[in-house]
Amino acid sequence: MATQAYHNIEGVQINAPVTPAYAEILTPEALKFMAKLVRAFADRRDELLKRRVERQKEFNAGRLPDFLKETEHIRNGDWTIAPLPEDLQDRRVEITGPAGVRKMVVNALNSGAKTFMADFEDANSPTWDNTIQGQINLRDAIRRQIDFTTPEGKEYKLKDKVATLIVRPRGWHLDEKHVLVDGKPVPGGIFDFALYFFHNAKTLIEQGSGPYFYLPKMESHLEARLWNDIFVMAQEELGIPRGTIKATVLIETILAAFEMDEILYELREHSAGLNCGRWDYIFSYIKVLRNHPDVILPDRNSVTMTVPFMRAYTLLTIKTCHKRKAPAIGGMAAQIPVKDDPQANEEAFAKVRVDKEREAKDGHDGTWVAHPALVPVAMEVFDKYMPTPNQIHRQRDDVQVTASDLLAVPEGKITEAGLRNNISVGIQYLEAWLNGSGAVPIFNLMEDAATAEIARTQVWQWIHHPKGVLDDGRKVTVELVNQLVDEELQKIKEMVGEERFKTGKYDLAVELFTKMATAEELVDFLTLPCYEYLD
């Protein structure tokens, strides 16, 4: 790999190729801006990550998450978030997809969805190329200079009316290893935010929109405070009025569910509400409560949105948001179109419809879809049940959710089929991610970093937990998992063919998967050890 050090900007070093196109993003001014934010806030990010570790030690020792005593006054206080801008009033359907895939950016913006969340997180494998190409794509899309024709002659051209753009930077746990400030890798979230904001905020404002963000995987209101402080400084630096940035926080950790009011409060000048990131939420539930002898989840496909702890969390999100005049956006159904099988396709669409109906009736102000073909499905449902741009006016005072409701352990079986599915999906997903694809279709479902986290964490939990027993009475063990890994790998080989298997990264994917599933300690995020292998 070529190495380029940006010696002209003191303390900033880039250990990756900088092509002329990349240099348009990595300009001296943009890097200075990024470095200023990093210098101001990276230490606090590090402290907050240490705090996560300390809190986990307490949960491992038997403590259960609960609402915070010291912030009771915020939960009981009478306050609301600042008014929402015009183009974030109606978010009934939001499409998501990786920022780094140019044609998907065009397709998503053209999809008919109200907004498009361009992703540097769950749907993105953070290779250097994906990261910088993502920034290029977004810059070009905003300036309507993204149209192109493939060598096969297929045209990608933005329609007149496109979705409002929202960008999801990486979570606090991830670094951008290719860029160092004062010798240390920069927090990936600050890197993604800073470059996008620097290049586009003013243009977006001139267009009547604004710099809008989704903030992933937070575990406390102190982490939200950090984002808020970054926003304040970033706006000041560029001479943009405070409060222009709007950010929607994903409630996708069990710990954040206990701090929803506090998170909205920290960001109240910059808040665009909350979203139910259901897949990471399930992952976080397993991770945080991993040492608790009563907590074990059944097969991944039986942890649905209607199990009590998931229902409690989504209803509490709606209630909390609406009390604060904030939108409560729903989550992602994993079904995607099934090619060449109309019946299976109709079944998949029906599942999405049911999911969206429940969300709209509950009071969500919008929802997510993974594929353009699902935009009309979700749109029809929300048009039917939500005639107004949003339903923030619907107070859900009838909803009463306690700490034990949020923690309630669902019933269900652990089966060999469920174990095999987790193994196969885990390996296939890791292989794709290592090859630079962060979202992929596997067995007709959308899989991304969050859904794959559940797969590998379940295998770990079932091995390590005394109740990790299959419905036929067999204990899940390292030996059983190793045996099934071999068998599932063989099936994958048959499915993808000899050539693809040989040229793929299956050996590495199996090694990483098996290590994470069988290690004594649970790895915090699968993306951390795997990132070492990304270019």
Binding footprint of ligand ACO on the chain (CB under 6 A): 95-97, 103-104, 107-108, 119, 122-123, 279, 332, 336-337, 370-372, 439-441, 446, 448, 450
Give the strand pairing for 12-14 and 175-181.
Answer: antiparallel
Contact 410, 307 (CB under 8 A): yes
Residue 446 found at the interface with Mg ion (CB under 5 A):
no
CA 450 → CA 55, 121, 280, 457, distances in Å?
A: 22, 9, 5, 11
CA–CA dist 49, 43 (Å, integer):
10
Could you say which of ligand ACO, Mg ion, ligand LL5AMS7Z, none residue 95 binds, taking C-beta under 5 to 8 angstroms by partner kind? ligand ACO
Contact 454, 283 (CB under 8 A): yes
CB nearer to ligand LL5AMS7Z: pick between 450 and 455: 450
CB nearer to ligand ACO: pick between 65 and 97: 97
Contact 99, 128 (CB under 8 A): no
Residue 97 found at the interface with ligand LL5AMS7Z (CB under 6 A):
no
CB nearer to Mg ion: pick between 281 and 385: 281
Q: In the set 327, 331, 363, 366, which binds ligand LL5AMS7Z (CB under 6 A)?
A: 331
Query: Which helix (H) or strand (E) element contains residue 167?
Result: strand 164-168
Determine if residue 340 is left, alpha or beta; phi over 0 gives left, psi from -120 to 50 gives alpha, anything else beta: left
Q: In the set 97, 100, 277, 366, which binds Mg ion (CB under 5 A)?
A: 277
CA 429 → CA 69, 284, 422, distances in Å?
A: 41, 19, 10
Residue number with the smallest Cβ distance to Mg ion: 280
Could you say which of ligand ACO, Mg ion, ligand LL5AMS7Z, none residue 299 binds, taking C-beta under 5 to 8 angstroms by partner kind? none
Annotated active-site residue in 45, 91, 168, 311: 168
Q: Residue 90 phi/psi, 5° resolution?
A: -115, 105
Q: Which range binds ligand LL5AMS7Z by CB under 6 A, 55-63, 153-161, 276-284, 380-388?
A: 276-284
CA–CA dist 406, 312 (Å, integer):
6
Annotation marks residue 398 as catalytic: no
Q: How many residues bind ligand LL5AMS7Z (CB under 6 A)?
A: 10
Contact 75, 261 (CB under 8 A): yes
Contact 201, 244 (CB under 8 A): yes
Contact 506, 155 (CB under 8 A): no
Determine if residue 246 is left, alpha or beta; phi over 0 gives left, psi from -120 to 50 gives alpha, anything else beta: beta
Contact 41, 229 (CB under 8 A): yes
Residue 252 found at the interface with ligand LL5AMS7Z (CB under 6 A):
yes
Q: In the set 91, 170, 278, 322, which binds ligand LL5AMS7Z (CB under 6 A)?
A: 278
Residue 122 found at the interface with Mg ion (CB under 5 A):
yes
> Which residue shows structure tokens 């070492």?
532
Which residue, 438, 417, 418, is CA-closest to 429? 438
Residue 330 found at the interface with Mg ion (CB under 5 A):
no
Q: Residue 66 phi/psi, 5° resolution?
A: -155, 165
Annotation marks residue 87 as catalytic: no
Binding mask 104-143 vs ligand LL5AMS7Z (x if CB under 6 A, - otherwise)?
------------------x---------------------
Annotated active-site residue in 91, 261, 448, 456: 448
Position 151, amino acid: P
CA–CA dist 392, 528 (Å, integer):
38
Which residues have a Cβ under 8 Å from the Cβ of 185 and sit 6 or more positions away?
Answer: 175, 176, 177, 178, 179
> Using only C-alpha atoms, what is the Rg of the chain?
22
What minimum distance in Å lies between the beta carbon of 68 and Mg ion? 23
- List the structure tokens of 29: 């001014």
What minimum distance in Å lies between the beta carbon of 111 and ligand ACO? 6
Q: In the set 169, 277, 298, 504, which binds ligand LL5AMS7Z (CB under 6 A)?
A: 277
Residue 356 found at the interface with ligand LL5AMS7Z (CB under 6 A):
no
Residue 450 found at the interface with Mg ion (CB under 5 A):
yes
Position 146, amino acid: I
What minimum distance in Å lies between the beta carbon of 146 and ligand ACO? 13
Residue 167 found at the interface with ligand LL5AMS7Z (CB under 6 A):
no
Q: Which range binds ligand LL5AMS7Z by CB under 6 A, 33-41, 134-142, 277-285, 321-329?
A: 277-285
Determine if residue 47 is left, alpha or beta; phi over 0 gives left, psi from -120 to 50 gives alpha, anything else beta: alpha
Residue 453 found at the interface with Mg ion (CB under 5 A):
no
Residue 280 found at the interface with Mg ion (CB under 5 A):
yes
Which residues lie across from 250 on neighbouring strands?
275
CB nearer to ligand ACO: pick between 414 and 439: 439
CB nearer to ligand LL5AMS7Z: pick between 198 and 429: 429
Contact 111, 95 (CB under 8 A): yes
What minimum distance in Å lies between the beta carbon of 459 and ligand ACO? 19
Residue 334 found at the interface with ligand LL5AMS7Z (CB under 6 A):
no
Q: Which range binds Mg ion by CB under 5 A, 202-210, 323-331, 443-451, 460-468?
A: 443-451
Q: In the set 6, 197, 231, 279, which binds ligand LL5AMS7Z (CB under 6 A)?
A: 279
Residue 176 found at the interface with ligand LL5AMS7Z (CB under 6 A):
no
Residues annotated as catalytic (active site), given as ranges? 168, 448
Binding site for ligand LL5AMS7Z (CB under 6 A): 122, 250, 252, 277-280, 331-332, 450
